[in-house]
Amino acid sequence: MRRRSAPLLSRTGRGLALFAALAIALPCTAQAGQVVNSDGLRLNLGGDIKGFFDVFFPYEHLLMPEDPVPSAALDFRFKFEGSYKRAFSWQFHHSATASINAQDALSSGLMASTRGAQAREAINLSWALEQEGAFRLGGRIDRMMLGFHVPHLDLWLGRQPLSFGTGYFFTPLDLISPYQPQVVDREYKPGVDALRFDGFIGMSGHISAVVGVVDTFDREGLFAVGNGGFTLGLFDLGLLVAYQQSDLVVGISTQGSVGPVGVHADLAVTAPLPGEEEEESREEPFARIVVGADVRTDFGLTAMAELYGQTLGTRDPEDYLTVALSDRFTRGDLWTMGHLYLALTLSQEILPILSVSMFGVLNVLDPSVLLGPSLSWSVAQNADFVVGGFVSVGKRPEALTLTDLLNPDGTPLSAEEATAVIEPGSEFGLAGHQAYAQLKLYF
């Protein structure tokens, strides 16, 4: 028997009440303000309020809830930024989120997410009130960075976002908190605790050095990145060398244009360094590569495609859950479980304030597809409304009975043991369908 969740209408009503609180504020025309701008001192105060509402539609399976599962969240971000002349600057962002999430832990791993997970912290700058049922309230200092600037050199210290590489769907060189396609709002990448140097050489050369801590002050938690690049003709070329959580990563990247078509590519080779694990359990080096192209037409259509391959992962759907339980996947470094993927996104501007888009990610060897239609409406100068969804197309997991998940003595199987019982039919077939709405207000 499948598990029945709480009545959809009652839980949806609570979620809509939270979502509607944002809509009430929509007529507000407040904009981010520069409160001080004199004698070289600039102070800016602002922020945004974002409301999320989504509904997960499960498919027939023992590990899925019986009814659709709604959830809602209201996020408030306060921003205090400024600079003094050209020598010193800072950013401070605090994000507080109230959410109602009715999904349970057993099925959450098979559900898409419309909001990205927060990065892990070396220094705990988060807070959370005691959870009451499905309601949660918490916050996090997501930016707390100081910048020091001299000619040809910038230094940033503190909690800051870090991104490397050129890929969009597939990001071999983006080693810290990379995004997944199911993340709708990519405006603020979660900050991590780091020290960064950016040097500028000539007209087009640059070099960056970053050292930081992901979560713990030990070998597993430290990371360091060296990244440099220059422009050659119509192309930017880059080289990256990194140490991340006991891995050595070497990568190259390029982006430029061929006529009206923009092109980009990233290649990363990762070699796990020797540690305390036994020789036979040590991972082999693996490679990841993405090649992409994009074009924008005169009639408002933008198209982008990416082809991605990785030697990590598996071709056998029965091994997907084993791969998904590995450290690289559980901590969010990787999200693809197969070897070869193709992604395509199309965006059409219908009006200056209205656009529609569609993306698709195909596991070529599976085969299965994740589709993501959406519509974006600029409601006002400082407000945007987005609706969309995720549609998974692929073979579903094989049916189970409750006894399949129990040992002979009646105790539940461990997570590792359950992976041998659950038989996925395809990668994206593991996920159900989902619809979402997002309202963003800036002040």
Q: Give the three-class secondary structure for 405.
A: helix
State how far the Cα of 371 lies from the Cα of 391, in Å rounded to an integer: 5
Lookup: tokens for 305: 């495609």
- The alpha carbon of residue 254 and the mean position of all alpha carbons in its chain are separated, in whole angstroms, by 22
Domain limits at 155? 8-442
Q: Answer whether residue 404 is part of any domain.
A: yes
Q: Which tokens in the block code for residue 376?
A: 């974006």
* pTM tops 0.75: yes
Residue 2 lies in a domain: no
Question: What SS3 class is residue 226?
Answer: strand
3-state helix, strand, coil in the chain (%, to 5): 10, 50, 40
Q: How crowded is the C-beta side of 92, counted as CA atoms within 13 Å? A: 7
Please give the pLDDT value at position 33: 75
CA distance 433 to 435: 7
Number of domains in the chain: 1
The token pair at 319 is 């091994």
Element (H, E) at 128: strand 126-128
Q: What is the reported pLDDT for 264?
A: 98
At residue 189's C-alpha, the angle toward residues 196 and 265, to 5°, is 80
- pLDDT computed for residue 102 by the predictor: 56
Q: Going by C-beta distance under 8 Å and a sequence separation of 6 or more, which residues neighbour residue 416?
A: 325
Per residue of the chain (443 residues), give pLDDT as tens. 454 444 444 444 454 454 444 444 444 444 557 788 888 899 999 999 999 999 999 999 988 888 999 999 999 999 999 999 989 999 999 999 998 875 543 344 444 455 555 667 888 999 998 777 788 899 999 999 999 999 999 999 999 999 999 999 999 999 988 888 888 888 999 999 999 999 999 888 999 999 999 888 888 889 999 999 999 999 999 999 999 988 999 999 999 999 999 999 999 999 998 866 656 667 899 999 999 999 999 999 999 999 999 999 999 998 998 888 888 888 888 899 999 999 999 999 999 999 999 999 999 999 999 999 999 999 998 999 999 999 999 999 999 888 888 888 888 888 778 888 889 999 999 999 999 999 999 98
* Torsion sign (Cα): 321, 325, 327, 329: positive
Q: What is the pLDDT of residue 351?
A: 95
What CATH number is attached to the domain comprising 357? 2.40.160.10
Q: What is the pLDDT of residue 276?
A: 62
Indicate whether 3 belongs to any domain.
no
Q: What is the DSSP string of 242-271?
A: EEETTEEEEEEEEEEEETTEEEEEEEEEEE
Burial of 80 (0-12, 13-18, 19+ CB in 10 A): middle
Is cis: bond before 367, omega within 30 of 0? Answer: yes
The rounded distance, in Å, linking the Cα atoms of 225 and 249 is 9
CB 427 within 8 A of CB 317: yes
Whether residue 354 lies inside any domain: the answer is yes
Angle, vertex CA 394, rays to CA 389 and CA 395, nearest 5? 135
- 1 found inside a domain: no
* Close Cβ partners of 214 (under 8 Å, ≥ 6 residues apart): 119, 120, 122, 176, 192, 221, 222, 223, 244, 245
Taking the C-alpha atoms of residue 212 and residue 192, their distance in angstroms, rounded to an integer, is 8
How many residues does this entry show for the chain? 443
